Chain A
Amino acid sequence: GQQLNQSPQSMFIQEGEDVSMNCTSSSIFNTWLWYKQDPGEGPVLLIALYKAGELTSNGRLTAQFGITRKDSFLNISASIPSDVGIYFCAGLQSGAGSYQLTFGKGTKLSVIP
């Protein structure tokens, strides 16, 4: 099946630092999604990207849909303690009657106050 390579697997950063994570694949996707999962909770949608080259922001979060449609990155600026959690990328291939969503294995973010 399709696979997404998400990196890094984990990162420890100081509060106030910027964070960058990315997902790559050998497959083409028509939508990229970024989710955050807090401990003991379900994943929550952060950003959805629908067009190649699209750059979208949500507060301190910025994500881009790669031009090749095979990759995406997520940046978090000026990190704060509540940014702690696991971030998942997901690539979507959809069409008439089909909806195939592939998840990366997650980036675990720890923020040191």
Chain B
Amino acid sequence: NAGVTQTPKFQVLKTGQSMTLQCAQDMNHEYMSWYRQDPGMGLRLIHYSVGAGITDQGEVPNGYNVSRSTTEDFPLRLLSAAPSQTSVYFCASRRGGLRDSPLHFGNGTRLTVT
């Protein structure tokens, strides 16, 4: 049981480049989300999805797009990377239907934008 799998683990981009951070989970979780972690800021929610075909914005959505075509996958797209998007990105999922079910996190993607 792999849990939440994120790829790549590290990435360096130049300003203006685009890329997609991949996230997959094999726990059949309905809810998936993306966070960014910055020093002194804790974890901030970027986008989330409560099920296939449904996405919504979190606290810091600007500059990021998401889609949820399957239950398993929730990719995060940066269309035009900016240095302010240098961060560690975490994907997380949880069971739907249980209102208090906790989040399970992947191991993160460390992104540097130069």
Interface size on B, residues (CB 8 A): 22
- Of the listed residues B4, B31, B92, B100, the one surrounded by the most CB atoms of chain A closer than 10 A to its CB is B100
Judged by DSSP, the binding face of A is strand
The complex places the Cα of A50 from the Cα of B106 at a distance, in Å, of 24
Q: Which B residues lie within 8 Å of A42 (CB)? A: 4, 6, 90, 92, 105-108
The reply to whether B90 and A94 form a contact with Cβ atoms under 8 Å apart is no
B42 contacts the other chain (Cβ, under 8 Å)? yes
The complex places the Cα of A35 from the Cα of B104 at a distance, in Å, of 10
Number of A-B contacts (CB under 8 A): 50
The stretch that binds B, out of A55-63, A67-75, A76-84, A101-109, is A101-109
B2 contacts the other chain (Cβ, under 8 Å)? no
Q: Which A residues lie within 8 Å of B107 (CB)? A: 40-42
- Of the listed residues B4, B31, B59, B99, the one surrounded by the most CB atoms of chain A closer than 10 A to its CB is B99
A103 with B108: in contact, given A1-B59, A33-B102, A94-B99 (CB under 8 Å)?
no
The complex places the Cα of A40 from the Cα of B50 at a distance, in Å, of 27
A45 contacts the other chain (Cβ, under 8 Å)? yes
Interface, chain A (partner B; CB < 8 A):
1, 30-31, 33, 35, 40-45, 48, 50, 88, 90, 92, 94-95, 99, 101, 103-106
Interface, chain B (partner A; CB < 8 A):
4, 6, 31, 40-43, 45, 50, 59, 90, 92, 94, 99-100, 102-108
Q: Could you jot down 9 A-B contacts, CB within 8 Å?
A: A31-B100, A40-B107, A40-B108, A42-B92, A45-B104, A88-B42, A99-B31, A99-B99, A101-B103
